[in-house]
Amino acid sequence: MLGNFSYSNPTKLYFGQNALQYLGEELSRYGKNVMLVYGGGSIKKNGIYDKVAAVLKRSGKVIIEDAGVMPNPTVDKLYEGCKRAREGQVDLILAVGGGSVCDYAKAVSVSAYCDEDPWDKYYLRMEDVSNRIIPVGCVLTMVGTGSEMNGGAVITNHKTKQKIGHVFGDNVFPKFSILNPIFTYTLPKYQMTAGFFDIMSHILEQYFSGSDDNTSDYIAEGLLKSLIHSSRIAVKDPENYEARSNIMWIATWALNTLIAKGKTTDWMVHMIGQSVGAYTDATHGMTLSAVSMAYYRHIMPYGLHKFVRYAVNVWDVSPDGKTDENIAREGLGRMEAYMKELGLEMHLSGLGVTEDMLDGIAKGSIIMDGGYKVPSQDEIVQILRESM
Ligand code: NZQ
Ligand code: ZN
């Protein structure tokens, strides 16, 4: 049952090869001080920085630079960004980068004028925002997280070994996002495929939950089929515009709240993956791929009907003459073969996880209760061990 809900997504998207031409128009809606946030320098090498800086200058903006946002942005970087945003009396934060840069921009936007420690308020106590929010705009250069059209902002605290996401409300979603698939061509293969699996994982976290006869499940299956098709083309031919543009669009719809409607949503693969990230600082999508097969094989008996549907509708498994369990297993087998074809990380040991970390990673995994089986701490240790 879909239940009762209201639906709106306030982010305005500009999509396609000419998307950046709308940046000037968007900038005209905000004051003159723009904090330009970016990562470790990929945008300087591939020319995106120059293109964006030229529009900012033409628009008469004062640019306050905030560079060096690391993959899996840290709480220390967040404190630094807040100070810079306040000192620069920033009117708009423009994030140019991947999910880390977009997430960080959102975290700074709600934290710069927060009277308390934002880590305590938003990440440990999960409280709502009660102070001024600086608007955020994005120019996306890496596809996967959906951060360009959602309220998520994941921050890592290396001291306490915690990686936690806060999903903020509509008022924190980017005001606009510019999505040019060509900007993603320079991604190294490892990052590109990690992003592909991040998308798949977002869809599965929502699909494998709640009641079954639901429009969201049909949308999810369509997104999955399109993703599988286009990603197979993109790994062989990374500059295939049709494949890369489809994937960019799928990523946005995979996590912009639409397909969560009517679903309880699981998110345990992400909770375990984030804890792995807190211990290893590994690439987000690869932390998910390394634990997914063990996780889904573990919960399969508790949601067998859905794993059968997944095998038949998404992986084209023929159900004829087979038991439900065999159909479901065959579907997961095809998923595993696809993941290997993409070259994803299938083992935690490949991400630097060692046996002595497993208990700590399990303890750091926030337990969610929307999936087919609420895992115990011991079950998470078992899943982690099977993922080594
Ligand atoms: O830092 P630079 O130099 O820009 O390099 C980045 C980074 O090293 C590079 N890159 C990005 N665009 C590029 C490029 N290299 C060449 N050409 C380009 N066009 O790619 C590397 C990874 O970037 P990052 O932004 O870290 O990746 P991603 O987009 O996967 O973001 C990961 C972060 O998002 C969080 C993750 O936990 C992680 O912290 N997530 C956010 C979510 C949300 N907001 O809803 C949901 C996700 O599940 C996820 O948790
Ligand atoms: Zn993710």
Q: Which residue segments constitute the domains of the chain, with CATH numbers given?
A: 12-183 (3.40.50.1970), 189-387 (1.20.1090.10)
Is any ligand 1 atom within 6 A of the Cβ of residue 244? no
How much is the pLDDT for 152?
A: 98
Question: Mapping DSSP to helix (H, G, I), strand (E, B) and coil, where does residue 345 land?
Answer: coil
Six-digit token string for 242: 């049709």
| 81/185 Cα distance (integer angstroms) | 28
Q: What is the CA radius of gyration of the chain?
A: 20
Mutate which of 45, 52, 100, 189 for ligand 1 pocket (most atoms within 8 A of beta carbon): 100
Q: 225: burial class by Cβ within 10 Å (0-12, 13-18, 19+)? A: middle
Instruction: Evaluate if residue 212 carries a pLDDT over 80.
Output: no
| 104/39 Cα distance (integer angstroms) | 10
User: What are the backbone dihedrals phi and psi of residue 180, each rounded to the nearest 5 degrees, phi first?
Assistant: -110, 110
Packing angle between helix 324-342 and helix 284-299, nearest 10 degrees?
A: 170
Is any ligand 1 atom within 6 A of the Cβ of residue 107? no
Is any ligand 1 atom within 6 A of the Cβ of residue 101? yes
- For atom 48 of ligand 1, which residue has the closest CA? 145
What mean pLDDT is predicted for residues 167-186? Answer: 98
Question: What pTM value is reported for the model?
Answer: 0.98
Residue with tokens 């705009």: 137
Six-digit token string for 286: 């690869």
Instruction: Evaluate if residue 213 carries a pLDDT over 80.
Output: no
Length of the chain: 388
Is any ligand 1 atom within 6 A of the Cβ of residue 252? no
Instruction: Evaluate if residue 353 carries a pLDDT over 80.
Output: yes
Task: Determine the number of helices (DSSP H) and then strands (DSSP E) in the chain.
Answer: 15, 8
